[in-house]
Amino acid sequence: MPYDAFTLAVQGNNYGYRDVLKYTTYLQRQQAMKDFVAWIKADPALSADTYFLSTAQMAAYMKAPFDKKGMKAAADAVATPDSNGIFSRLTWVSHGATIDVTDGNTADVNFMVPNVASDVSVVAGVVAGSLKTLSHIDLKYTTDVPFRVRLLTSDGTPSVTVLLAGVGGDRLARLRVKDFFPGNETLAAKLGTLPLVGADYMAKVTGIAFESAVTPVTGAKAFKAHIEQLTLHGADTAALCMP
């Protein structure tokens, strides 16, 4: 109960969650979770593929993941070649943001956000099919507001994003292709029909964007994301460039 009365209602960093209090109490949300667990356990098909873990068990699993049979999970294969230099090789177009390129791997993206409903970005086109064998994207960056990496297509397939939520100080991120998911602009009815992101999807990608991810908490503001290093694993830099 103190969670409703203090954490949600008072603490400034929970501003975006206060609407919850209009609809439910803590006890109602707690009962909903208990009902959900009971529903899963009572269904033979769902219970066969669902695992409920404590926080400690989840942390241990993340350190040493294993499959359903208890066998050690194989590490993700990092594709080659390593593609570097794309900041200076690609042509970046402003959509409410600007980019200052230091060199091929380093750039500052300056976001000028007029309101929290605006998605401002810089976008570069790439040759269709040039990212088909991409496995990972590595970034070293600093930012004071979260931002997204978005992959774009030109055939009507919904774009996909990864949110980089860490702020302050140097950050390292390894984005797997399968970490990308449809943006929140994708209609719910469409989500259920979309496959996971894989080589077939990556073959359709024709653009890369860096996009603001401000919220009512961060507020509409000008902010900078400094990208110190950007590496694409499994793509030929020369093949990416638009003719």
Q: Residue 53 belongs to what domain range?
A: 2-63
Q: How sure is the predictor about 8, in pLDDT bands with cuts at 50, 70 and 90?
A: confident
Residues 220, 149: Cα–Cα separation, whole Å: 19
Better-scored residue on pLDDT, 230 or 4? 230
When divided into structural domains, the chain yields a total of: 2
Work out the average pLDDT over 60-89: 90
**Are 24 and 88 part of one and the same domain?**
no
pLDDT recorded at residue 129: 93
Exposed/middle/buried for residue 227 (C-beta within 10 Å: 0-12, 13-18, 19+): buried
**Are 97 and 157 part of one and the same domain?**
yes
**Are 22 and 136 part of one and the same domain?**
no
What pTM value is reported for the model?
0.77
Residue 75 lies inside a defined structural domain of this protein: no
**Are 17 and 111 part of one and the same domain?**
no
Residue 227 lies inside a defined structural domain of this protein: yes
Residue 229 lies inside a defined structural domain of this protein: yes
pLDDT recorded at residue 106: 96
Asked if the model's pLDDT at residue 12 lies above 80, the reply is: no
Neighbours of 4 (CB within 10 A): 15
Work out the average pLDDT over 192-198: 82
Tens digit of each residue's pLDDT (9 = 90 or more) over 120-129: 999 999 999 9
What lies within 8 Å, CB to CB, of 78 at 6+ separation is: 135, 136, 233, 234
pLDDT recorded at residue 140: 97
* Signed CA dihedral, 163, 92, 171, 151: sign only: positive
pLDDT recorded at residue 17: 67
pLDDT recorded at residue 243: 55
Q: How sure is the predictor about 11, in pLDDT bands with cuts at 50, 70 and 90?
A: low
Residue 161 lies inside a defined structural domain of this protein: yes
**Are 116 and 48 part of one and the same domain?**
no
Token couple for 170:
């140097």
Residue 77 lies inside a defined structural domain of this protein: no
Residue 72 lies inside a defined structural domain of this protein: no
**Are 109 and 205 part of one and the same domain?**
yes
